[in-house]
Structure 1
């Protein structure tokens, strides 16, 4: 039995994995879908203003401590790739697998800000214009999204090198939005790295909702097969902003 820790991307909470969680649980695995600090409904402005990438990595580490997890599969979507990388580097060998689901795979000294495209940096700046510390969700997506702590997009990651010791590292590239994705160069880089396995899914960025069976199949170690056929939705978090089934918030 595997233990999955699912970390959402920017503006999202545990609900972003709602279609995938039951598929993993049905296969007999433990699943913890997280809502990170600053993205919870009861977080006050001060919490959002002081939350950064370290805060989110600590959320994951606290969950590992609290649930006594010693062999975790960390799955990070989009910005969540920054979080699982930081957490795995500090987890003292408690992470056995990393899955970056159309997500950033940072190197030491990089940030979400430095790793993304100018289009996304402009969206971060525009989204934070009102408060200076919280990035509003782009218009037109899932109404459950919340303002995202700006500092977590800006903070550079510091990696001690233990991340490279995680036995299994995978990157899932969503190819259905190739004219907008910030991950094309990353895919090329990881394909040339023997330490990584790269999978392609013909979906938009929001693969968990477009093709949950295909995502679950990859997480369970199988091929995506015919389940990888996308629906008509191609979620772009900027152009269209959209276990336990209970929320595993990192308090």
Structure 2
């Protein structure tokens, strides 16, 4: 039995993994879904001070509270920033990492630095309070605003991802326009330390290609 810890992307809650989580449990694995501070059912906690460090702390706190050892951390989209930071802070609790059409930052990088101009324009559409980036129209109706500071803050890492048993990257090939994750995909597919998958799916792979994602996750065990 493996322990999967599933981290959603921007504007989403742990509910976005509902189908995948159920399927993994059917295969006998332990699954923990995470909702980050300020999002979904925790949206009442969204303030101007919620940033990437807050979300990394959310995840490390879950690993401790749930007594997780040898976790397979799965991060979708923005969630890639979070699982990278948590794995760096608690490598002794992490076995492997799966990035689902996600950012894979190196020390000193931020979402703002890694994404494209279209996404940056979205980040800067923060509402009247100046820090709540609205959910995009194509998102699930349950999606909520996302803290701007988490997109802007640079991650600080003390090591690299090569210390973990396995690192998988799942790339969604179907985008309206340029994928903000294309540079990350091109970098990692040439790296022999990574297992890279290109999936005929839109960005929300959990919803649009669940069977392919399930197979990839099971293969990481």
Normalised to the residue count of structure 1, the TM-score between the two structures is: 0.84
SS across alignment from 1:16: helix
Aligned residue number for residue 172 of structure 2 = 174
How far residue 162 of structure 1 moved from its aligned partner, in angstroms, is 4.8
Query: 1:23·1:213 contact (CA, 8 Å) conserved in 2?
Result: no
Q: Deviations over 1:134-193 (max 9, x none)?
A: 111112432111110111111000110153311211100111227331111211110121
CA distance in 2, matches of 1:195, 1:60: 25
Gaps of 5+ in 1: 223-251
Preserved contact between residue 11 and residue 40 of structure 2 (Cα < 8 Å): no
> 69-78 or 188-197, which moves further after superposition?
188-197
Contact 1:78 1:103 in 2 (8 A): yes
Alignment of 1:81-160 (within 5 A): 81-126=80-125, 128-160=126-158
Q: Larger relative CO (CA 8 A, sep 6+): 1 or 2?
A: 1
SS at match of 2:5: strand
- CA displacement, residues 103-148 of structure 1 (integer Å, 9 cap, x when unaligned): 000011100111000110011101x142111111112432111110
TM-score, normalised relative to structure 2: 0.95
Q: Does 1:4 align with 2:4?
A: yes
Match of 1:67 in 2: 66
- Number of aligned residues: 220
Residue pair 1:77, 1:103 contacting (<8 A) in 2 also: yes
Deviates more, 1:165-174 or 1:71-80: 165-174
State the Cα distance separating 1:40 from its structure 2 match: 3.9
Q: Is the 8 A contact 1:174 1:201 kept in 2?
A: yes
Distance 1:184 1:65, change over 3 A: same
- For the residue of structure 1 that corresponds to 2:41, the secondary structure is coil
Structure 1 CA distance, aligned partners of 2:36 and 2:42? 12
| Cα separation, 1, equivalents of 2:176 and 2:92 | 35
Superposed structure 1 runs of 4+ greater than 6 Å apart = none
Contact 2:36 2:42 in 1 (8 A): no
Q: Deviations over 1:68-116 (max 9, x none)?
A: 1110000000000000000000013211100000000001110011100
Task: Give SS of 2:155's match.
Answer: coil
1:202 aligns to what? 200
Deviation at 1:212, TM superposition (A): 1.1
Q: Deviations over 1:203-248 (max 9, x none)?
A: 00011011211111110008xxxxxxxxxxxxxxxxxxxxxxxxxx
Question: In structure 1, what is the equivalent of residue 48 of structure 2?
Answer: 49
Instruction: Return 2-11 or 172-181, whichever deviates more.
Output: 172-181
